[in-house]
Structures are given as structure tokens and as C-alpha cells.
A and B are shown apart, each in its own frame.
Chain A
């Protein structure tokens, strides 16, 4: 018998997988045609990004609840920064300075 999902790591994993499952259910063929579309799961950007972290790095025992709390705070900062960046309007022609250079070895 598995332990209940009471840890933050387990909650985040469950939330992410639950979100995917809800999406699948909405597409099922046997859903009643006149049924109200299911409410979109309220998965915040922070939750979604935390799920990615747990999925990729959750194998490390050092990422315990306390560590995940600290990481979550940083993820929230990153999400806020993304929002700040998107508030700055850019034109299509506003490109980054190029950093890629085609390469050809000088030996041939």
C-alpha cells in the first residue's frame, strides 16, 4: 500500500498528472454531447513549472519539502519576471543581437 500523497512533492506530481487526466477525459468519445464542458483545471504557472521540476529532478532525495518550498518561491519570481518582460512591447523587427555564427574549420 502506497503512502498517501501528503508531501508537497506528491501533491505537485498529483496535480500535474490530474491536469493531464482531466484534459483526456474532456476528449473522450462517450462524453454526453450536451454536457457542460468541464472546468479547466486551475493550474497556475507556478504549479506547472514546479511539476516540471519535480518530474525531472524529484529523484534527488535532497529536494525535500523544505527545498521545494524555497524553489517554489524562486519559480514565483521567475513567473513574475516573465510577466514583466511580456508587458514591454516589442515590434517584430526587434531581434536579439545575433549570437550564432556559421562555422567552418580553417583546416579544410
Chain B
């Protein structure tokens, strides 16, 4: 297997090679550590490389296998964690300069679960400072600089899980953990040509993760395929006494098995009318693929006040979560000028406004679920256009209809996956949304599409000069 093949191999392939002894976890870990050390700075995607810890974990993984203890599909496989997940003895910066060297002396539950599953933490990955909670509107809003896209190093990798996006897309880690409050797994997965899973709210414990918004934050995997995402979710899902929102509803990834009946999928009327032309074309091609195993119904999304609810809830919770940061003035140490002052206004949101938004949200959740229940899933463009140049602001030149706000307000899952390229060979993306707890069926639909198209097997060309 060549280095390039190894860098982008699927999790089952890597696992099989470790089990047959073709490669040890230590060798694999050294390989990915080398790539992180060599290429991480090229994409501004690494906060901390965890070399010593990784080699210890890899040696333990190899010893376990020798002793006949197999911890499952992630055994011995390296990964990276968004730097908002606490790691014992290793800095956790939240992407923010004021916390650059801060150590939270505990492991986030998701980090612990991955360790117990035999995975090897090789790096803490960059992110937009404070997960974008202060309202950034430029790519350069992180202590590590703008996240750069492996498909074109002059373009943004998306955010806020920027480093997770770049690192997986560049083959620096086989998979990463990201988080989404509103769009932070979707955006980098879309822009970097990855498969990302926004989990149902509470599916994965957030204990030890930076809180931006207690009722909106979700943690999920970013990887090369839906199948890989299923394997990762299986390892990190589940209840946790340290996070009362984490629920005990089993998730077992059974692969890409679709139901015997023909699926019923929906698309939004005029959903991609104003999208980048190549996104529109690729979306039309994608629908042809889905028609092979599903009926597709065009529908209209009811008009819910999701935007105003999402903004009010997010900003009120953010203002509370970061009140001390504003009080102390630490906020002025952030990188983007707009982030230094972006939180103050939200301290004036009234309690009645916050609660009213939450009451309206409950109503939206019920109505959204009733609407979604007509379909097995809803297909939209993952993003209206491809990655922006980092020299430009983050305004959208194109538009498309999506369920981004409804899905996040209602805590429902969605898979973002690659859908082909634009004229500059930048990834376009597709999003598959579904009802709460439907990760298994959404991933199965995504896997069926990936089996039919192979877009997820395309990777950026490596610049040999670096």
C-alpha cells in the first residue's frame, strides 16, 4: 500500500491491516504523526500534536491485540480531536489565544470513549475561536490562523471545525471529531469534501467539551465515508452521567443496508435555484442516482421562525457561557476584531425573550417532526457554493434552501457528503436530513449513494514541494 493510499484508507481497511499484522498501530501512528508534523502548518489545522500520548496509546493497542484483546473497529487507528474537547495533561485552547496554554485536567467523555475503543489521539485540531460564538465573519478568526483548504490552499476550510476538516481531507488523520452548534460540522465537511455527521442532540455526551450553547451543541464524526462515520458513532454514542442531555438509546451501525421497500425522499422546491451553477448541476446528477432506489418528491418547507429562535437561543446561552470572559476582558485577546466585541450585545437579551424563543422552539420541533415524518429523508445541497477565497469575507454569493436552521433548532441529525466538483475542482456537497435518532438510516442512504458514485474516494492532490 502506498503512502497516499494509507493516508486515505478507510477505517475497515486500516483495521484489517493492523489485525493481519501488515502494519502495527505504532507504525500507523508514526505515519500520521509524521504527516501532521510535516503538513499540519500548511493548512493551519493543528493546535497540538500529541506524540507521546499517541505512541503510548498505540503501543497499548498493539499489546492488546497480541494478548487477544480486540476493542473493535477503531482499535489502533489514529484520530484528531477538535480543540474544544478537554484532554488530560494536554492544552485545550478552544481556538482562542487567551486559552492557548490552558490545560483542563480531564478527558472529555468522547475522548475517553475513543480511548476505550482503542483509537489513538494524535492531535488536537484547530478551530474557529470559541467555535464562532462571538460572530466572526472572516476566515482569520483563530489563534492558529485561517483554516486552509487542502483542495486549494488559498481557500477557507470552513468552520468552526476547520482543523478537523483540513486534517481529514489532507490525509493527516483517518478521522476527526468535530462539533456543531449551527453548521460547524456541515461547513468544513462541505468545503473539504468529507462525510460529516451532525448527530441527534444528546446522542454523544458533551461532558468535557466547550459549551457554546447548552441546548444546541452536538458532537459528531468527520471522516472519508458514511460507513466510517457509522463506525465512529457506534464508539462514541451513549448516555453519560456527566451530561444529563446524553441519552441511552443504542446505536449499532449495521452497514449500508437499506430497507426492502423503495425509499421516499424529498427535495425542496426551488431549493438550488440560486445556488452556484455547478452545485445545481451536481445536485441534479445526484438525484438521478437516488432515483435508483427511491422515489423523490418535491416539497415546500413550512415557514417556521427558526432563524430568530436559533439566534436568540444561541446568543443568550453564549453570553452566559462566556460572561466571565467578557467581564475580565480576556475576550479582547481573541484574534478577529469582530469577535473581541461580538458578545457584549447578547448580555442584554431578556430572560423572557430567551424563554419565549425556547417555547416557540418546542412548537417548531413538534411541527418539524410531523413534516419530516412524511419522508425517509430530505435531500438538499450541503452548501450553495464551494469554498471561498480566504481573502474574501464569508458572505454568501449564492443561495440555496436548506434545513440547517430547522435541523439545529430541533436537534435532528444530518449527513453532509461530497457530491462531485465545480469547474475549479473544488468539492460540492449534498446534505441528507432526517428525524431525531435517524442517524442509522441517514448514514445507510449516504453509503448507498457513495457506493454508487465514489465521490468520497477523491482526494486532494498532495503538493510534493511542501
Contact = CB atoms under 8 A, between A and B. Distances in A.
Given A85-B356, A96-B362, A53 B329 contact: no
Given A78-B315, A81-B311, A88 B348 contact: no
Interface string B348-362: 111001011111111
A53 B358 contact: no
B327 to A, nearest CB: 7
Interface in B338-353: 338, 340-342, 344-350, 353
A57 B311 contact: no
Q: Is the interface of A mostly helix, strand, loop or mixed?
A: helix
B214 A99 contact: yes
12 contacts: A49-B348, A62-B340, A62-B341, A67-B341, A77-B345, A78-B315, A78-B349, A85-B308, A85-B353, A94-B359, A95-B359, A99-B245
A85 B345 contact: no
Nearest to A106: B241
Interface of A: 49, 52-53, 56-57, 60, 62-63, 67, 70-71, 74-75, 77-78, 81-82, 84-86, 88, 90, 94-97, 99, 101, 103, 106
B347 to A, nearest CB: 7
Contact of B345 (A62, A71, A84, A103): A71
Contact of A96 (B135, B244, B346, B361): B361
Given A62-B332, A96-B362, A81 B308 contact: yes
Interface of B: 135, 214-215, 241, 244-245, 305, 308-309, 311-312, 315, 326-327, 329, 332, 338, 340-342, 344-350, 353, 355-363, 365
B360 A85 contact: yes
Contacts of B340: 62, 67
B242 to A, nearest CB: 12
A96 B353 contact: no
Contacts of A67: 340-341
Nearest to A90: B359
A97 B241 contact: no
B312 A53 contact: no
A69 to B, nearest CB: 10
B342 A62 contact: no
Contact of A75 (B214, B241, B311, B345): B345
Given A57-B344, A85-B356, A96-B359, 11 more contacts: A56-B327, A71-B341, A75-B348, A81-B311, A85-B305, A85-B312, A86-B356, A95-B359, A96-B355, A97-B361, A97-B365
Nearest to A62: B332
B152 to A, nearest CB: 32
Nearest to A105: B241
A98 to B, nearest CB: 10
Nearest to B332: A62
Given A81-B308, A99-B214, A90 B345 contact: no
A78 B363 contact: no
A102 B340 CA distance: 37
Given A99-B214, A99-B215, A101-B244, A78 B345 contact: yes
A84 B353 CA distance: 10
A60 B348 contact: no
A49 B350 CA distance: 10
B363 A85 contact: no
B293 to A, nearest CB: 35
A106 B240 CA distance: 13
